[in-house]
Amino acid sequence: MFEPKTLSVPELAERWKMTTRQVLEAAAQLRIHLLFDFDGLVIDDTGEKLMQYDLNNKREHARLTEFIESAEAKFKRRIAGLLSPWESLADDEAVELQIQVRSAQSKIQDLQDVFDVVTRERLKWRYRGPLMASPETVDELKRIGSARHPFRAYKPDGPFSLQVADGMPALDGPIVRLEAAGTKLKEWLEIADMVALMADVKAIEAAAKPQQLAPAANTEPDPITISSDVPTVDDKANTPWWQEKYDIMEMAKNKGASLKAKGSNPSNAAISKEIANHIANAERSKGSVFSAPNHDTIRGLLTGWRWKAE
């Protein structure tokens, strides 16, 4: 039996016995990556520089063209004896102007050669396939159920690193600019347009108990759960994976000492952010699909504890 390579958000919600909003909440927390199909131009940093270079050349082309047309019109008026008193063009001035015109024509030909190179490069930017939605796109889908077609997205092959900003996970990776190529882009993306790779879905199902996919703070209070008929691996019932893997209290002592050595205040809030960053970066570097805890979760474990110099 053939298996699809992707599942749409509604299909994934049905598979995991949850709402589409809960899937989007998980995506907003970078617990699963959502993609959308794209057919057009994908422009990276190198392409952006080439586009700017091309724009500057087009401006220069327009300036030179205007100069040539103005000079040729002046030559015609000179031959016809129609130059005004303030437009007088002596023979030596006419010769110098002709030299400038030939130079401008030569530069225009050089620019045309550059334009041909840029045109060929643009063909290499043509892309047809999945792109990873940015957090802004996912947030808009979560808020209003649809999102304007983005002009920025992530290439799904990365490379990515997971950061923590204000206690929330943030994806750092190559962002590309999107442009239409031949056909107009869709104006809106709907929730059903967003898909998850089946490989990612299976990795999440196999890596941890589904109850670890909990909604973000200040959203639905009920935990996200996947139907028990989805195969998972056994682990301790109520212990998050990261508490089994990382000694949080030992890390808190070390991070507190490190902050103190740097002259920073080793408060629980600061220590919690340090620990959350450490876990997120460590797991992302290993290609883990686990959801890293945010600093508020870590801080909750440190309730009643305070760092003291030994």
Residue stretches of the chain with pLDDT short of 50: 210-238, 289, 310
| Angstrom distance (rounded) from CA 232 to CA 237 | 12
Does some domain include residue 168? no
pLDDT at position 282 is: 77
Does some domain include residue 186? no
Does some domain include residue 262? yes
Does some domain include residue 291? yes
Buried b (16+ CB within 10 A) or exposed e, 29-52: bbbbbbbbebebbbbeeebeebbe
pLDDT one-digit tens code per residue, 121-147: 888 888 888 999 988 899 899 999 999
Does some domain include residue 111? no
pLDDT at position 182 is: 74
As given in the structure block, the two tokens for residue 286 are 């290993």
**In terms of Cα–Cα distance, which of 167, 162, 160 is closest to 275?**
167
Q: Would you tell me the crossing angle of helices 135-144 and 20-28 to the nearest 10 degrees?
A: 150
Find out whether 253 and 307 touch, Cβ atoms under 8 Å. Answer: yes
pLDDT at position 291 is: 60
| 162 SS3 class | strand
**pTM for the whole structure:** 0.53
Does some domain include residue 29? no
| Angstrom distance (rounded) from CA 176 to CA 45 | 7
As given in the structure block, the two tokens for residue 193 are 């347009």
In the chain, beta strands by DSSP E: 6-8, 35-43, 126-132, 146-148, 152-154, 161-165, 168-172, 175-179, 188-190, 195-197
41 forms beta bridges with 126, 179
pLDDT at position 210 is: 45
pLDDT at position 236 is: 40
Does some domain include residue 44? no
Biggest alpha carbon distance in the chain?
98
| Angstrom distance (rounded) from CA 119 to CA 128 | 18
Structural domains of the chain, count:
1
As given in the structure block, the two tokens for residue 165 are 């900003």
Find out whether 274 and 259 touch, Cβ atoms under 8 Å. Answer: yes
Phi-psi region of 81 (alpha: psi -120 to 50; beta: other; left: phi over 0): left
Does some domain include residue 120? no
| Angstrom distance (rounded) from CA 33 to CA 199 | 11
Q: Would you tell me the crossing angle of helices 248-261 and 268-285 to the nearest 10 degrees?
A: 110
In terms of residue numbers, what domain contains 247?
Answer: 241-301
Residues 6+ apart with CB under 8 A from 168: 29, 294
